[in-house]
A and B are shown apart, each in its own frame.
Chain A
């Protein structure tokens, strides 16, 4: 073998080895591209729409939610009717869902005035329920035919349902502070003005 042929043969041998290495590498890369498969991802949306809720109710353990407030008379001539009777049989329950940072207020309104007499309402602080429960105004509030705020700063909350839950409502009947004794008269039947509670969006 002349030196030129020897050199070519040697070169081809080296090339064969290189080719084998390249081929092996190519196969490895090809197979590796399968084993190193990127994960596939897919996604979808879940949407939940929470609505606004504003419901309130009067709860009592009595048979009815009628508040009896009856001034008394001692029977002694020359003495006045005695006022100051109280009734705390009713409870104010509510559930409220508001938009973020919104607040609600509950007002109470007397259907019609009673001449010479005040119906006062004192809502208690609340100890039941969860969430941003309302704040009872410092009572007593003299009810009138104009709505009076009794619970303020109500956010998203619930009070629990039923008597002994929510705000206890204490009604008191009093003689008006001014000398209105002469305005007191016997009604045709019984004075029975309704008290209406309303929950509204606060401004």
Chain B
């Protein structure tokens, strides 16, 4: 009888534990973006008839800030991660090139177990329609500053508004 009670208790506790494990919402990773970039190409850049536009157009060094965190807060204190980047065109001329680079480290959130680190992205890399590696590091980060460049805008590009969406994918690579 005693054994039966003991076993019954174990069953109840185990079922409760299982129920808890299954019903708890999975912790989520949330990425957040601050900013966007709108570039009005200045027509006065064609100072001489017969000439093309000159050079590239560069955004502010902190035009866009990117970060990511666990949700609910406190999750993923000790993680390694990577960020991939690609371009999803709405209206875009294939001759226009979009480039991006990281201009700072942002704010890494140190915990007892995790030393913030961020790698890659310090030199300009082209953002294409194909996903490509951009940044990697450890611990949660916020406010990673990004600078953009638009290149190859020329007087061979029709006059209109071009628009593209830059998509960042943050993946946990280790816990």
- Bitwise, A1-32 to B at CB < 8 A (1) or not (0) is 00000001100100110010011011101100
Distance of A142 Cα from B103 Cα, bound (Å): 61
Which residues on the A side are within 8 Å of B28 (C-beta)?
A: 37-38, 40
A-B contact count, CB below 8 Å?
205
Which residues on the A side are within 8 Å of B48 (C-beta)?
A: 55, 57, 93, 95, 161
Q: Does A137 contact B (CB under 8 A)?
A: no
Most chain A C-beta atoms within 10 Å of own C-beta, residue among B17, B68, B156: B156
Pick the contact of A16: B10, B29, B51 (CB < 8 A). B10
Q: Does A166 contact B (CB under 8 A)?
A: yes
For chain A residues 121-139, which have a beta carbon within 8 Å of chain B?
Answer: 129-131
Q: Does B113 contact A (CB under 8 A)?
A: no
Stretch at the interface among A80-88, A96-104, A144-152, A186-194: A96-104
Distance of A50 Cα from B45 Cα, bound (Å): 11
Q: Does A178 contact B (CB under 8 A)?
A: no
**Given A37-B27, A100-B158, A156-B156, do A49 and B39 touch, yes or no (CB 8 Å)?**
yes
B interface residue count range (under 10 / 10 to 19 / 20 to 34 / 35 or more):
35 or more
Can you name the residue of chain A whose Cβ is closest to the Cβ of B38?
A: A47
A93 near B22: Cβ-Cβ < 8 Å: no
B155 near A96: Cβ-Cβ < 8 Å: yes
Could you tell me which B residues sit within 8 Å of A by CB distance? 3-4, 7, 10-11, 14-15, 17-18, 21-22, 24, 26-33, 35-43, 46, 48-52, 64, 66, 68, 76, 88, 96, 98, 148, 150, 153-172, 175
